[in-house]
């Protein structure tokens, strides 16, 4: 047990030194994993995905639009970070934009600025500004270091499981399994899922801010998410069991944010 006490002291010390601040929102977050390690893994995985995918040529008009939107948001983010003395936070980013010819309605941005958009998303976005809604959201995840935060959260939950396992080692196996199972379910419902929904809402807000800085009208977010809600009909989990806010919650929050964001951030 003593080794776990020392481990707990060490882990607590790490957490005290691993608190970071999310740009723009100012929220404190836990980042236990070195960004260099996460980015190295992300870059390798990104290269693997792009290599085996049907990636569109840079001369394809859809790929050009994706690169244009991404580059505009990238420049806006870089300008904001420079003005606020935070350029070091994205110094290691290696921005890249690829469009994959698949019917998947999705886009993502890995830590370090590696972006993919699937052509299946484009009939839902319908226009460049709605595409900026999605890409702003995905780039926001990378800027806010949500990948690091989720990995750190997983380490914390696993550590708690090890401590509980040690505390129960004298109990019957059935008792151990029961309490460990309840711990994993409880930590998922009480920590992992709520934090995931919070990160999604934060990425929504940051995404609107970044697209506005790039000169795109954030009002386009509402009709876009309404179209996405129509796509999601019949596939809805209760919000407390989901990694994302419900469509209704998301649209309501965005509607409340847009007037202030337009006033404060929309580039003429």
If DSSP codes are grouped into helix, strand and coil, which group holds residue 18?
coil
Q: Is 27 exposed, middle or buried (0-12, 13-18, 19+ CB in 10 A)?
A: middle
Q: Is 128 exposed, middle or buried (0-12, 13-18, 19+ CB in 10 A)?
A: middle
Residue 114 CB: number of other CB atoms within 10 A? Answer: 23
Q: Measure the CA–CA gap between 244 and 199, rounded to whole angstroms.
A: 9
Cβ(121)–Cβ(132) below 8 Å: no
Which residues, other chains included, contact 185 with Cβ-Cβ below 8 Å and sequence gap of 6+?
Answer: none
- Tell me, what's the pLDDT at 146? 85
Instruction: Output the six-digit token pair for 202.
Output: 């934060």
Beta strands in 62-138 (DSSP E): 96-100, 107-110, 114-118
Q: Measure the CA–CA gap between 171 and 88, rounded to whole angstroms.
A: 50
**CA distance readout (Å), 115 to 50, 238, 242:** 10, 29, 24
- Tell me, what's the pLDDT at 208? 97
Q: Measure the CA–CA gap between 259 and 265, rounded to whole angstroms.
A: 10
Q: What letter would DSSP give residue 188? A: I
If DSSP codes are grouped into helix, strand and coil, which group holds residue 167?
helix
Angle between helices 146-167 and 35-52 (to 10 degrees): 110
Per-residue pLDDT tens listing for the chain (268 residues): 444 444 454 445 455 445 788 888 888 887 878 888 889 989 999 999 999 999 999 899 999 999 999 999 999 999 999 999 999 999 999 999 999 999 988 999 999 999 999 999 999 999 999 999 999 999 999 999 988 888 877 666 565 555 545 555 666 666 555 544 443 544 454 444 456 678 889 999 999 999 999 999 999 999 999 998 888 776 654 443 355 678 888 999 999 999 999 999 987 7
Q: Are strands 28-30 and 19-21 parallel, antiparallel or unpaired?
A: antiparallel
Q: Is 240 exposed, middle or buried (0-12, 13-18, 19+ CB in 10 A)?
A: exposed
Q: Can you name the residues that pair with 11 across neighbouring β-strands?
A: none
Q: Measure the CA–CA gap between 244 and 195, rounded to whole angstroms.
A: 10
Which residues, other chains included, contact 248 with Cβ-Cβ below 8 Å and sequence gap of 6+?
Answer: 229
| pTM metric for this prediction | 0.80
Cβ(243)–Cβ(197) below 8 Å: yes
Q: Can you name the residues that pair with 30 across neighbouring β-strands?
A: 19
Q: Where are the domains of the chain?
A: 6-148+192-265
């Amino acid at each position: 047990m003593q080794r776990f006490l020392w481990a707990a002291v060490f882990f607590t010390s790490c957490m005290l030194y691993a608190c970071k601040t999310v740009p723009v929102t100012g929220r404190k977050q836990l980042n236990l994993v070195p960004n260099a390690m996460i980015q190295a893994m992300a870059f390798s995985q990104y290269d693997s995905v792009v290599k085996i995918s049907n990636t569109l040529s840079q001369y394809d008009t859809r790929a050009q639009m994706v690169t244009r939107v991404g580059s505009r948001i990238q420049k806006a983010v870089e300008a904001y970070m420079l003005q606020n003395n935070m350029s070091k936070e994205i110094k290691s980013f290696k921005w890249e934009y690829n469009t994959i010819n698949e019917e998947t309605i999705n886009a993502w941005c890995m830590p370090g600025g590696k972006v993919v958009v699937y052509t299946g998303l484009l009939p839902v976005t319908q226009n460049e500004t709605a595409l900026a809604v999605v890409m702003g959201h995905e780039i926001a995840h990378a800027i806010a270091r949500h990948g690091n935060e989720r990995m750190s959260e997983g380490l914390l939950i696993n550590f708690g499981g090890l401590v509980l396992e040690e505390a129960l080692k004298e109990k019957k196996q059935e008792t151990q399994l029961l309490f460990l199972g309840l711990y994993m379910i409880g930590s998922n419902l009480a920590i992992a899922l709520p934090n995931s929904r919070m990160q999604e809402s934060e990425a929504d807000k940051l995404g609107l801010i970044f697209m506005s800085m790039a000169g795109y009208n954030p009002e386009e977010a509402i009709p876009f998410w309404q179209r996405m809600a129509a796509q999601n009909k019949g596939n809805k989990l209760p919000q407390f069991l989901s990694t994302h806010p419900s469509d209704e919650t998301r649209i309501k929050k965005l509607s409340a944010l847009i007037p202030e964001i337009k006033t404060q951030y929309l580039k003429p």
